[in-house]
Amino acid sequence: MRRMLMENVDPAAVPQRKLSNGMIIPGIGMGTFGNDRYAPREVADAVYGAIKAGYRLLDCAAAYGNERDIGQVLARVFAEGVVQRQELTVMTKLWNDMHGKGDVLVACAKSLRDLKLDYVDVYMVHWPFPNYHAPGAVLTGRNPDAVPFSVEEYMSVWRQMERLVDMGLVRSLGMSNMTVTKLEQVLPLCRIRPVVLEVEINPTFQQPALFDYCMSHGILPVAYSPMGSPCRPERDTEEGDVVTFEMPELKEIAETHGCHPASVCVKWAVQRGHVPIPFSVYEKEYVENLRCTTEDFLTEEEMDTLKRADRNARLIKGKVFLWEEAESWRDIWDGEDERNNCKTTEA
């Protein structure tokens, strides 16, 4: 009975974004990273509910361990007529252990088989190096096989990604977890340029320099952890981490609008112009995340308040990928967080 009473959101009312290659995608998507807390079937059930509620963008990844279950859901919604394939944007990602010669096609083929699709709309390189960890990894020291970023290694992967577009298996390409430093090195070498970059962005970690760089280069930022990832894996937590929902500015705006701070995070993201991909297995939450993008918008003053409230506080640090010579997790991000801090102090 509860499913019959589900609140739906008209997909046509959801803001849309045009990619540099002309593709149109929704301005908000449903994330599917939940394998640290939820079984694949639980995530897939949430995806089914989300599509029925009006979501038309899904963010998947081989590393999340649930593509097979999500594929069953996709086959179901197509068979039931809930949505047609061309109405759905499906993004997924190449995992770090499939960077070798010939591996990218194999990995893509497996994702397509698991998702029960003929093509994916956006295929991304998940991390810019082959440093691998098993799902749910805990920090027990650094992997001796881990290596720092290499332009040569990355471009060998990207050339394989480009061939997937040529083969019609992928409509568009994307990158993930890159920095301006890395983008400046690889973009001039790309035959097919990325249309999206998926990175951490939320009100406490706005990445203005990276955001501006992407927008000026025809790359749409896609935001994971758009609410500050309060349920992120323990390996990415540190003492003193910012709690996004406790930001005074965020709480005050939420009180003004009579909503949860999570809704303000989503509204802020969509109005700023990047694409948030929040995840929840709870129907009330994922429906509200979608619905709030269609009404009761933030004022220019509220948007400016949040812009000035940026704490430059990265929460997803990637420590599990560190190589032996690295001084700290900040090396993964090329020290750009520290430079942002200096600019904030100067301002």
Q: Which are the catalytic amino acids?
A: 64
DSSP-derived secondary structure for 138-194? --SS--TT-----HHHHHHHHHHHHHHHHTTSEEEEEEES--HHHHHHHGGG-SS--
Place of tokens 């083969």: 167
Place of tokens 């967080």: 337
Q: Which residues contact 12 (CB under 8 A, 6 or more apart)?
A: none
Taking Cα atoms as reference points, which of 106, 99, 180 lies closest to residue 132? 99
Residue type, 38: Y
- Other Cβ atoms closer than 10 A to 94: 25
Is 99 annotated to bind a ligand? Reply is: no
Residue 169 sits at the vertex; the CA angle it makes with 17 and 23, to the nearest 5 degrees, is 15
Residue type, 297: F
Q: How far is CA 287 from CA 11, 51, 151, 214, 294, in A?
A: 12, 10, 41, 29, 12
d(CA 274, CA 262): 16
Taking Cα atoms as reference points, which of 85, 121, 48 lies closest to residue 275? 121
Place of tokens 């029960």: 116
Q: Which residues make up each annotated binding site for substrate?
A: 126
Q: Which residues make up each annotated binding site?
A: 126
